[in-house]
Amino acid sequence: DGGITQSPKYLFRKEGQNVTLSCEQNLNHDAMYWYRQDPGQGLRLIYYSQIVNDFQKGDIAEGYSVSREKKESFPLTVTSAQKNPTAFYLCASSIDYRGVTGELFFGEGSRLTVL
Amino acid sequence: EDQVTQSPEALRLQEGESSSLNCSYTVSGLRGLFWYRQDPGKGPEFLFTLYSAGEEKEKERLKATLTKKESFLHITAPKPEDSATYLCAVQSESAEGGKLIFGQGTELSVKP
């Protein structure tokens, strides 16, 4: 079945540690996105990538880093510089890097808790 | 600045009690408005895309409508399995990378 796979589903981190969240898609989509979701707030865009080896900052990129070495993969690293990393992280993809269709397909999410 | 506001924040209905969720938006040229359903601890699931005022789309007990300033998600005779958070998002014509701006969601609870 085609879809987006995020791992791990749950992750605990100590303060000062970097962690990497995995996102893999087999939909052959060009564009991939990372959103952060906090209670009572809308999804906020962290980073996005329209093509391989290229990515752009979203609205809340500080303290995060990404890479796009393969079309299928878009991992997100939450660095120790992120001041409030505890959140639900969602990876998504869309069929056209120009966003013509606009439909985002989401993974199941990764919940990060900083201890 | 593009903005999306959803109301109410939470809605409790009895099974069979029809109602509507509202999504008000401000965007500099609308490319599309999107509705998603999100179950607790899960990623959002795509429901509808609306492109122009007057457009309507239906899926089972759900019907989405669009005006120049807002969208409604009408739920007819809801069932407990319709309980979820419903998210609205807009994409502007000038959106870089096709990014969506999301509202904070409406949490719907349907009691039997």
Q: Nearest chain B Cα to A43, which residue? A: B102
Among A42, A58, A103, the residue with its CB nearest the CB of B99 is A58
Q: Nearest chain B Cα to A41, which residue? A: B104
- For residues B76 and A15, give the distance between their C-alpha atoms in angstroms, rounded to a whole number: 47
DSSP-derived letter for residue A73 is B
Question: Of A102, A96, A27, which is closest to residue B100 (Cα–Cα)?
Answer: A102
For residue range B48-105, what is the model confidence (pLDDT) as tens digits? 999 999 999 999 999 999 999 999 999 999 999 999 999 999 998 887 777 889 999 9
Chain B interface test: which of A37, A68, A91, A105 (most B C-beta within 10 Å): A37
Q: What is the pLDDT of residue B99?
A: 82
For residue range A50-107, what is the model confidence (pLDDT) as tens digits? 889 999 999 999 999 999 999 999 999 999 888 899 999 999 998 875 656 568 899 9
**3-state DSSP assignment of residue A27:** coil
> How long a stretch of residues is chain A?
115
CB-side neighbour CA atoms (13 Å) of B48: 24
Structure tokens at A78: 């939450």
**3-state DSSP assignment of residue A54:** strand
Compute, in degrees rounded to 10, the torsion defined by CA atoms B29, B32, B36, B41. Answer: -60
